[in-house]
Amino acid sequence: MTLEIETVPCLADNYAFLVHDRKSGATALFDAPEAWPIQRELEKHSWQLTHIFLTHHHADHIDGVAELVAAFHPEVIGAARDSGRLPPLDTAVEPGQIYDMWGRDVHVLDAAGHTSGHVAYHVPRAAAVFTGDSLMALGCGRLFEGTPEQMWATLKRFMALPDDTLICSGHEYTAANGRFAATIEPNNAALAHRIDETARARAVNAATVPSSLALEKATNPFLRAGRAEVKAALGLADASDAQVFAQIRAAKDRF
């Protein structure tokens, strides 16, 4: 693959991602929590930042933009519907649109739920989707602005991607998410195994992000709201998938 992905830890528990295309020379950043760790990573590889893609307007995803723009003059891309509260955009995109990044397709996905304007970016040639605070490792973002129905529709869009897609999400929350997930599915062996692996990784300060869609489908309680065994265990056998999702999300908020 001529596309390389680097995970860049930022702030206390955020992740940004750099995607470098050796063929075109494009180097894209997905979310900009703060500038210096990203600049250090760019220097390490001698990469020139050419694009910044923003998932949503929260400070811990955009605060590094101004400094990186001043240093590298990249093109800044974000959701048209959130242009009023994102940093100045060079290109405003709509969900459903395919953005051409120097010959590589970047699919803009509607990822509303955590915020109303949240988008995600799927890069098929990198087999990766950049989900910000929508789908997360063993979790999903809190519903600050959207409805459970919106977030469930967002999660279904992700579930339709190829199983080997890398889920590049915005935070290291996996251990805490696992403690909650175990309360929903105490008998899920794949989940128990993932919780062990997460503990081992975190003990040596290793990142548990990105994960894969296949792993999320097997272990993430929010993606499993439509499963008969999950519905039955929650006493919601006759509820709609979105209603079960809403119950699981509400339980996580109280956890």
User: Which residues here bind Fe ion, judged by CB under 5 A?
Assistant: 60, 133, 170
> Closest approach of Cβ 138 to Fe ion, in Å?
16
Stretch that binds Zn ion, among 33-41, 129-137, 216-224, 240-248 (CB under 5 A): 129-137
Site mask, Zn ion, residues 58-97, x = CB under 5 A? x---------------------------------------
Which helix or strand (DSSP H or E) is residue 3 part of?
strand 3-10
> Is 133 one of the binding residues for Zn ion (CB under 5 A)?
yes
Rounded distance between C-alpha atoms, residue 200 and residue 24, angstroms: 38
Report d(CA 90, CA 103) in Å as an integer. Answer: 18
Give whichever of 86 and 101 is closer to Fe ion, judged by the CB atom: 86
Region near Zn ion per CB under 5 A, out of 42-50, 128-136, 214-222, 240-248: 128-136
Smallest separation (angstroms) from Zn ion to the CB of 95: 17
Sheet containing strand 27-30, strands side by side: 3-10, 14-21, 27-30, 51-53, 75-79, 91-93
Residues 6+ apart with CB under 8 A from 10: 16, 33, 34, 37, 38, 64
Give least dist CB 193 to Fe ion, A.
27
- Least Cα distance to 117 among 73, 63, 62 occurs for 62
- Rounded least distance, CB 58 to Fe ion, Å: 5
In whole angstroms, the minimum distance from the beta carbon of 183 to Zn ion comes to 24
Is 122 a binding residue for Zn ion by CB under 5 A? The answer is no
Residue closer to Fe ion, measured from CB, 55 or 150: 55
E strands, 31-97, where? 51-53, 75-79, 91-93
Site string for Zn ion, 43-62 (x = CB under 5 A): ---------------x----
Give the separation between CA 27 and CA 253, rounded to whole angstroms.
37
CB of 229 to Fe ion, least distance (A): 31
Cβ nearer to Fe ion, comparing 55 with 198: 55
- Cα-trace Rg, the chain: 18
The distance of Cα 167 from the centroid of its chain, to the nearest Å, equals 6
**Residues of this chain that bind Zn ion (CB under 5 A):** 58, 133
